[in-house]
Amino acid sequence: MPGLRFPVLQLASICLLSGLLASTSVFASEPDPVAERMLQAQTASGGWPKHLAGKAVDYARPFDAAASAALARSGRPDDATIDNDATTREIVHLAGALQRSGDSRYRDAALRGVDYLLAAQYANGGWPQFHPDRSGYRAQVTFNDDAMTQVVGLLQDIAEGRGDVAGLAPLRGEAARAAVDRAIALIVSLQVRIDGVPTIWAAQYDETTLVPATARKYEPPSLASGESVAIVRLLMRQPAPSPAIIDAIERACTWFGAHALTDIAIERDEASEGRPRDVRLIARPGARLWARFYDLERQQPLLVDRSGDIVASLADMSHERRTGYAWYGVWPARLLDQDLPAWRQRLATAHASAWHR
């Protein structure tokens, strides 16, 4: 029936044209300025620095002359790190920019970043704070400021095909899963035991002996409450958790409950004319607070001045350190009040479902 051919061909042409237009629109989008700067800042090893020309990297605006000169310098040092969200944030943003634009440069840079993380992982499952420059405390297995925890979470997102990095799963999902498995096994083994009782985690560990270690002078070996909250949340995320993971979570939450400072709160004075800002502890009935660090013997709050000297209270600390560091906080509160009950319920539901199969 000749009369039917034209509409069919016309429809096919329209479909083909619309497909081409859709494809063209994806690749014709304006370059992502943040992603473009991330391409510039990526180091030879595939990671990213946290500073350029002595200042924190800021992708929100064009690099200034000093940062641009640092990037263009011959023999630029490879100061790639996982500290201060470096490398993880770039991978996530570039993977998202890839989804929005289809620009293969963003894909390649994101994959180089993932490969950097995979290469930086120690055989024992941990990550140094910096790689390839592992001088000094940079070599330590680092949970401080959630550095390693964020890396493991990102790799798990890739392995599970979640969020902006879902597009990387077909290319790096298997390797990411293997890295996560090694990391989780290490994390469980690093839970600090005092008198044989599991507590929480240290902020950093010696990369060889895996004992809690000193980083900066005011960061001695200790139990780190804020970082341990992030670790527990990561463990809670694990599908079909082993008895060892479940026990680590429960023991840590028990420790948090037992070491809350009750009826105490932090009061902050903001800067005003002629008076600097300040921080102090005050009495507040019903309030809960946790110290950032607890010592490894008595499990009591540990306060350390920049000099490395232990002080008895915030009032005894230099003003610069008292106001420039979060010595107390409420990090475990939501974990205990909301996350733990929800996790227990998920676990019970999964067990009940498995029992009925």
- Annotated active-site positions, please? 84, 216
Distances (CA, A) of 260 to 17, 146, 249, 253, 287: 65, 21, 17, 11, 10
- Say which amino acid occupies 165: V
With 0-12 / 13-18 / 19 or more C-beta atoms within 10 angstroms meaning exposed / middle / buried, residue 286 is exposed
Instruction: Look at residue 150 and give its three-state secondary structure.
Output: helix
d(CA 323, CA 311): 15
d(CA 210, CA 215): 14
Q: Locate 95 and state its tokens.
A: 């993977």
φ/ψ (deg, to 5) at 190? -85, -5
The answer to whether the CB of 120 falls within 8 A of the CB of 46 is: no
The answer to whether the CB of 306 falls within 8 A of the CB of 217 is: yes
d(CA 101, CA 103): 5
Distances (CA, A) of 14 to 6, 26, 28, 48, 72: 12, 18, 20, 45, 48
Sequence-ordered list of residues with C-beta below 8 angstroms from that of 58, at least 6 positions apart, any chain: none
d(CA 327, CA 280): 10
